Structure formats: structure tokens, C-alpha cells
Structure 1
Amino acid sequence: MPTPDSDGLLAEQLLRFTRRVHRIQKRHIEQSGLGVTPAQSRLLRTLAHYGSPPRMADLAERLEVVPRAVTTLVDGLEAGGKVRRVPDPTNRRVIRIELTDDGRQALSKLRGARRSAAAEILAPLTEEQRRVLGGLLDTLVDGDVPEAGKRC
């Protein structure tokens, strides 16, 4: 059975790993030369998953941030020509956000940057270790709790 100290150490390792992932991804995004931040990159990826342009409130909910944060991200991306605000066709008071052609091209470059960051991050692992890590991360992300007394 794990001790509180071992769980604390594991949590610290996860935090350190998360910081490392962020640093590597940030470096690869910066090297892409697109002039976007990691947060803007995430917003672009989120926009790409919508069939029709979402409202800013939809983006805030999906990104799990306050609406003001989305406004700031959209302002920067709009200034760079990667997104644009468009009126809702059924309600003029509602503004929707859509990718521009430049935004779609940036997204393609960002996918390449994310792939190269992932390759760097996962380089020390074998294929089997990657498979096991993927399963463990799925469990942690889903928050599934094993049956009482049963450990994975």
C-alpha cells in the first residue's frame, strides 16, 4: 500500500513532468515562427473541432477558462489574422469566432510543432513503455477509481 510520502513524491514527479512538457511545447511553438502563444495555439486547435463558428462563451467553457481570457486570446489571434469575429446569423448581438485561411495554415504548422515536441518528450521511452504510459494517463484523466482494496 502506498504511503502518503510516496503519493506526495509521485504527485511532485507529475508536476515536474507537466512543467517539462509545457516548456518543450512552448519552445517548439516558438520555433514554428508563427508568433502564437501556447494558449493561443490551444484556442486554435479548439476552434478547429467546431463544425460551425462557436461563441466566445462556448470556447471559454470548452477551454475551462473565464470568458475574459478567451477575449484576450481572440484579440491577439485576430490582430495576427488567424481568427475573425463574425455576427451570428440568427442573433446580431451574438459574436462567433472563426478560423481564417491564415489560421488554418498556422494550425497545420502547429500540428507539426506538437508532433516534434511529443517526439522529444517521449524519446526516452520504448514502444511498450509508451503503451503502458498511455493506459495509465487514460486512467488518471478519466478519474476511474479501482474497486476497494484493488490496486492497478
Structure 2
Amino acid sequence: MTSPDPDGLLAEQLLRLTRRVHRIQKRHLEERALGITPAQSRLLRTLAHFGEPPRMADLAAALEVVPRAVTTLVDALEASGKVRRVPDPVNRRVIRIELTDDGRAALRELRSARRAAAAEILAPLTGEQREALGGLLDTLVGAAPAQGRGC
């Protein structure tokens, strides 16, 4: 009989948690009837972090996807009025993507849905356990510790 593989067990737990997080977030999004997919949600969140409207290639790089995937997402978000394509003021051949007022409102709803999902997922943990988990996750993702750990 072989002994259990602790790293393999941890990897499986992380995968199960990731799937659970996605299911719960998707449910919270559906409850708000935003009509936004998780991939579109990710694009909107990423877009909001740019100082000036980015090019499609910038979004693709930030999302770590192929440019064609961004085009599909932007097409759908533009059709629903959440983003718009605008010409670059310096080089009119370059198209940039910006949030609309509807997109900013959707982003607020998305943040609220993510907070509700996080509260549901983290409910079994004490404050001390949450802090410990946050520190461990910071180490795993290679990020500087998050201040005020909001969603």
C-alpha cells in the first residue's frame, strides 16, 4: 500500500475549491440577472484597472488569452452597452476599449456579487483563519500582502 501524496491531495483540494468558488460566483451573478458571463466579468474587472482605455492587445496580455478571445468578449459587452470601442487620440488606426456608464454600474454589481460569494465561501472560517488563509494565498500567488482584503 502506498502512502498518500500530500501535494497531490492539496492540489485536488485547491481545484475543488476553485470549482466551488466559480459555481457560487456564477450563482450570485445569475441572481442579479446581469447577463454577464464569468469571462466577461473578468474582462470588465481587468479593464477597470487600466488608467487609460487599453488596446485589445493590452487586454489580451493582461488576461493571458489570445487576442481573438478578447474580441469575442468585447463584441458581447459592446452589444450590451457595457463597453465601447474608441479611436486612439494619437493614432486613429488604433482602437481602445473603455467602460461605459452601464459598464461601471455592472462592475459595481459584480463587486457586490463577488463579496456575497466570498462571504458564503469564507463563512465557516474565523477571522484568524481568514487572515492565515490570506497570507498563505498571497505566498502562493506571489503577491504582496493585500491591504484590507476586500473583494
**TM-score, normalised relative to structure 2:** 0.90
Distance 1:73 1:50 in 2: 17
1:121 maps to which residue? Answer: 121
1:18 maps to which residue? Answer: 18
* Structure 1 segment 3-152 matched on structure 2, within 5 A: 5-142=5-142
Distance 1:52 1:4 in 2: 50
Q: 1:4 to 1:65 in 2, by over 3 A?
A: farther
Amino acid at match of 1:20: R
Distance 1:61 1:30 in 2: 28
Distance 2:4 2:140 in 1: 18
Q: Match of 2:5, SS?
A: helix
Q: What is the percent sequence identity of the aligned residues?
A: 82
Cα offsets for 1:99-122 (capped at 9, x unmatched): 011101111111111110100010
Instruction: Determine which structure has more spread, i.e. the larger CA radius of gyration.
Output: 1
Q: Match of 1:84, SS?
A: strand
Distance 1:89 1:142 in 2: 36
Distance 2:124 2:45 in 1: 27
Q: Match of 1:124, SS?
A: coil
Shift of 1:4: 7.0
Which sections of structure 2, spanning at least 5 residues, go unmatched? 144-151
Amino acid at match of 1:60: A
Distance 2:19 2:98 in 1: 30
Distance 1:20 1:137 in 2: 16
Q: Match of 1:39, SS?
A: helix
Runs of 4+ deviating beyond 4 Å: none
Distance 1:43 1:57 in 2: 13
Q: Match of 1:81, SS?
A: coil
Give the root-mean-square deviation of aligned CA atoms: 1.3
Corresponding residue pairs, total = 141
